[in-house]
Amino acid sequence: MRDKGEYLFTSESVSEGHPDKVADRISDTVLDTFLAADPYARVACETLVTTNRIVLAGEVRGPDTITAEELMHNARMAVRDIGYDQSGFSWKTADIACHLHAQSADIAVGVDAAGNKDEGAGDQGIMFGYACTETPELMPAPLYYAHLVLRRVSEMRRNHDKLVEGLLPDAKSQVTLRYVDGKPVGATSVVVSTQHVEGMEQAEIKRLLWPIVESSLPKGWMPPEKEFYVNPTGTFVIGGPDGDCGLTGRKIIVDTYGGAAPHGGGAFSGKDPTKVDRSAAYAARYLAKNVVAAGLAEKCTIQVSYAIGVSHPLSVYFDLHGTGRDIDEEKLAAVVQELMDLRPRGIREHLHMNRPIYVPTSAYGHFGRVPDEEKGTFTWERTDLVPALKQAFGRR
Q: What is the pLDDT of residues 211-248, one digit of tens each?
A: 999 999 999 999 999 999 999 988 999 999 999 999 99
Mean pLDDT confidence for 346-359: 97
The verdict on whether residue 46 carries a ligand-binding annotation is: yes
Mean pLDDT of 173-178: 98
Residue 363 has pLDDT above 60, yes or no: yes
| pLDDT score for 116 | 47
Three-state helix/strand/coil letters over 106-142: HHHHHHCCECCECCCECCCEEEEEEEECCCCCCCCHH
Whether 117 has a pLDDT exceeding 90, the answer reads no
152 is in an annotated binding site: no
Minimal CA–CA distance to 253: which of 140, 120, 385, 331? 140
Question: Which residues lie across from 48 on neighbouring strands?
Answer: 55, 247
Region of 166 please: left (phi>0), alpha (psi -120 to 50) or beta.
left
Is 289 known to sit in a ligand binding site? Answer: no
How much is the average pLDDT of 143-152? 98
Label residue 202 exposed, middle or buried (CB < 10 Å: 0-12, 13-18, 19+): middle
Mean pLDDT (whole number) for 343-365:
97
Dist CA 14 CA 357 (whole Å): 21
Closest CA to 132 of 324, 330, 382: 324
d(CA 232, CA 205): 12
Strand, coil or helix: 189: strand
pLDDT for residue 135 is more than 90 = yes
Backbone angles phi, psi at 37, to 5 degrees: -90, -30
In the structure, what pLDDT confidence band is assigned to residue 260 with cuts at 50, 70 and 90?
Answer: very high
Is pLDDT above 80 for 364?
yes
- Is 18 assigned a ligand-binding role in the annotation? yes
The CA dihedral of 350, 354, 356, 361, to the nearest 10 degrees, is 50
Give the burial string for 93-106 (b: 16+ CB within 10 Å, else e): ebebebebeebeee
Identify the burial level of 135 via C-beta atoms within 10 angstroms of its C-beta, where 0-12 means exposed, 13-18 middle and 19 or more buried.
middle
CATH topology of domain 125-133+275-392: GMP Synthetase; Chain A, domain 3 (3.30.300)
| 331 in a known ligand binding site | no
pLDDT for position 385: 98
The mean pLDDT of the chain is 94
Residue 128 identity = F
CATH fold for the domain made of 6-13+141-239: GMP Synthetase; Chain A, domain 3 (3.30.300)
Q: Tell me: is residue 390 an annotated ligand-binding position.
A: no
Considering the chain, what percentage of its residues have pLDDT values greater than 90? 90
The whole-number average pLDDT for the span 150-177 is 96
With residue 50 as reference, give the H or E element that holds it: strand 42-50
Query: Is 28 marked as a binding-site residue?
Result: no
Cα separation values, 223 from 139, 160, 168, 352, Å:
21, 28, 25, 42
Contact 184, 178 (CB under 8 A): yes
| 251 assigned to a ligand binding site | yes
pLDDT of residue 107: 58
Whole-number Å distance between alpha carbons of 8 and 179: 6
All CATH 3.30.300.10 domain ranges in the chain, comma separated = 6-13+141-239, 125-133+275-392
Q: Which has the minimum average pLDDT: 26-30, 117-121, 177-181?
A: 117-121
| Residue 267 is labelled as binding a ligand | yes
275 is in an annotated binding site: yes
Query: Alpha helix (H) ranges present in the chain?
Result: 19-37, 68-82, 105-111, 141-158, 202-216, 240-243, 252-255, 276-293, 329-339, 344-350, 386-392
Distance CA 384, CA 173 (A): 33
The 10s digit of each residue's pLDDT in 273-330 is: 999 999 999 999 999 999 999 999 999 999 999 998 888 999 999 999 999 988 999 9
pLDDT (tens digit, 9 = 90+) per residue, 60-96? 999 999 999 999 999 999 999 999 999 999 999 999 9
pLDDT at 180: 96
Q: Radius of gyration (Cα) for the chain, nearest Å?
A: 22
What pLDDT, on a 0 to 100 scale, did the predictor assign at position 105?
57
Q: Distances from the Cα of 244 to the Cαs of 16, 21, 163, 238, in angstroms?
A: 14, 12, 27, 9
Q: Is 20 annotated as a binding residue?
A: yes
